[in-house]
Structure 1
Amino acid sequence: MTGSPAERRRVRIETGGPVLVEGPVELTGDDGTTVTADRFLVAVCTCRRSKRYPLCDTSHRKRVRTDT
């Protein structure tokens, strides 16, 4: 492995959910746009349903309809 522990970022993949990255991070999209997040943990959208893409807004969660 290269890089000191201070340079490495921990990434956790959530099944059916976002990729969690220890922040702060800078994300560059395939169109060249850049988003920065200064949070200590950043959720990166993998389903592309997020209105804040590439950041997750929990749009991947199943919606349960309750008719009363």
Structure 2
Amino acid sequence: MNQNPQESTQNGSIVVCPDGPILVRGDFDIVTPSGEAVPRQRKTVALCRCGASAIKPYCDGTHKLIGFRTEVPAPTDRTR
């Protein structure tokens, strides 16, 4: 039995990075909308959220170049 939790794939996690990708750690299948498996060679992958990556569905760091932001803009006062 594997006693090292860092090497365990029994548990996984999905982390949403502010202004960046979604990190998928562990044994998860990534599939297209039609259900086809997306090739995955690492236990941890970064999925694109900005839509500008050249290697979708994976992140290539383009979010930094285009200034992608995930925070919700503050509401403006238009009731006056």
TM-score using structure 2 length: 0.58
Instruction: Supply the RMSD in Å over aligned alpha carbons.
Output: 2.2
Once the two structures are aligned, what percentage of the paired residues are identical? 29
Structure 2: 5+ residue stretches without partners: 1-7, 67-80
1:42 corresponding residue in structure 2: 45
The alignment partner of 1:26 has SS state of: coil
Q: Does 1:20 align with 2:20?
A: no
Rate the CA distance shift 1:23–1:6 in 2: closer, same or farther, 3 A.
closer
Opposite residue 47 of structure 2, the aligned amino acid is V
Structure 1: 5+ residue stretches without partners: 64-68
Matches within 5 A, 1:1-68: 7-62=10-65
Moved more, 15-24 or 47-56: 15-24
Kept in 2, the 8 Å contact 1:23–1:39? The answer is: no
Structure with the higher fraction of residues in helix conformation: 2
Rate the CA distance shift 1:43–1:18 in 2: closer, same or farther, 3 A.
same
Instruction: Count how many residue pairs are aligned between Structure 1 and Structure 2.
Output: 59
Which entry has the higher C-alpha Rg, 1 or 2?
Answer: 2
Structure with the higher fraction of residues in strand conformation: 1
Kept in 2, the 8 Å contact 1:19–1:46? The answer is: yes
